[in-house]
Amino acid sequence: MKRLLSFVLLLNLFGSILPAQKGSFGEIKQLQGPQNPRLGFVIHGGAGVITKGSLTPEKEKEFRAKLEEAVLAGYKALQAGKTSVDAVEIAIRIMEDSPLFNAGKGAVFTHDGKNELDASIMDGKTLGAGSVAGLRRVKNPITLARAVMEKSEHVMMIGEGAEKFAAEQKIELVDPKYFWTQHRWDALQQILKEENEKKVKAKGQKEKAKIDGDESSGSSQRSEVEKPSNRFGTVGAVALDKNGDLAAGTSTGGMTNKKYGRVGDAPIIGAGTYANDQTCAVSATGWGEYFIRLGVARDISSQMEYRAMPIQQASDLVIKQKLQKLGGDGGVIAIDKFGNIGISFNSEGMYRAYINADGKPVVEIY
C-alpha cells in the first residue's frame, strides 16, 4: 500500500515538472514545480461557433480589449494580495457589465423574450460554494452568488427568493429592461424563425410519409430543431492566489430560446464550476445539459485526485473524449495549485485569456 502511494505521488510530481510537451492530449502550458507556486489567472468569455471571419475586425478588437481588461483586473487584484475569490468576482463583474458577453448586461433571451441569469462561485480552500439561478433583476449575478456563499447558510438560491436576498444584502437590482440588447433580441428572432421553418418542413415530411406509408420518416428533425446554433458568451474565471488558494466562478444568461425555468450548468456546482485546493479550479461553458449530465468540472478535479492526472490531460479527457462522445460541445478553463493551466474545447472557438509565465496577458479566440 505504502509503495503504491509513493508511486502515485511520484507520478503526480512528474506530471507537474515534466517539460511542456505536445501529445494526444495537446499542449501542457506553463508548468511549474511544486517548489515554485505562483499567482495564476485565467478567464473565458464563452465557447461556440466562433470561426475566423465570423467576427468583424472591429468586433474582434472589442472582444480582445474587454478580455484583456478583465484578465488584467483579476491578476492585479491577486498581485495586490487579494484572494482568488476576490479576483474571480472582479473579472466576472467586468464581463457582466459588458454587452459583448452572454452574462449580466449582454444576457441572451429565453423563448418567451425574457432574460434569466445564472451564476456560481466556489472557494477551493473551504469548499464553500454559492449559486443563483433564474434571476431577472440582479445586475451582477456573480456578486449575489458570492453573498449566498458567504452570507447565507445555503448553497443555491433561485428566482424571486434569491432577488429578495439580494435586496437584503444591498446588492444592486435593476429594471429587467436593463438586460435588453438589440443583438440578443435579433438572435432570438432569428432562432424562432428558423425553428418555425423547421417545424413546418418536418410537418410536411411527416404528412408525406403518412401518404407514402413510412411513418418513421421525418423523426430525425427533432434533434436538428433542438440543437442550439446560436450560443456563446458565458463568462468564467479561475484563480490561484498568493496563499495557494484556488477559486472558480461562472456567470451566464444561459442559452438563447431556452424554455421557462430552464437552468444550465453554470450555477450547478460540479458541472459548470468547481474548486478544490487539493486539485484544481474549473469554469465551463457550452451546451449546459451535457455538462450537467457529465458533472464536467468535478470530473476534471476527480481525474486529478484519483488518477493523479495533469490538468491539461484531465481537461482534454473530459471535453475532447467524454463530452464529444456524448454529443455535447463547449470548453473549460482550469488551473491547479501550482499555477498549471488547462484549457480545452471541442467547439470551433472559445474566448479566453490568461496571464503567462512572464506575467503578460494572452488573449485567444480560435
* Minimal distance, residue 22 CB to ligand ASP, in Å: 27
- Dihedrals phi, psi of 34, to nearest 5 degrees: -60, -25
Nearer to ligand ASP, 130 or 253 (CB): 253
* Minimal distance, residue 289 CB to ligand ASP, in Å: 7
* Minimal distance, residue 33 CB to ligand ASP, in Å: 34
* Minimal distance, residue 253 CB to ligand ASP, in Å: 8
In sequence order, what DSSP letters do the residues of 169-230 get, joined into one string? Answer: TT--B--GGGG--HHHHHHHHHHHHHHHHHHHHHHHHHHHHHHHT-TTTTTTHHHHHHS--S
Nearer to ligand ASP, 66 or 231 (CB): 231
Cα–Cα dist 120/158, whole Å: 12
Contact 254, 264 (CB under 8 A): yes
From 234, 250, 279, 285, the catalytic residue: 234
Contact 337, 330 (CB under 8 A): no
The owner of cell 438589440 is 182
Nearer to ligand ASP, 124 or 272 (CB): 272
Which residue ranges make up the site for ligand ASP (CB under 6 A)? 46, 102, 231-232, 234, 252, 254-255, 264-266, 272, 285-286, 288, 330
Nearer to ligand ASP, 102 or 313 (CB): 102
CA distances from 207 to 197, 203, 216 (A): 15, 6, 11
User: Is 234 designated active site?
Assistant: yes
- Dihedrals phi, psi of 61, to nearest 5 degrees: -60, -45
* Catalytic positions, written as ranges: 234
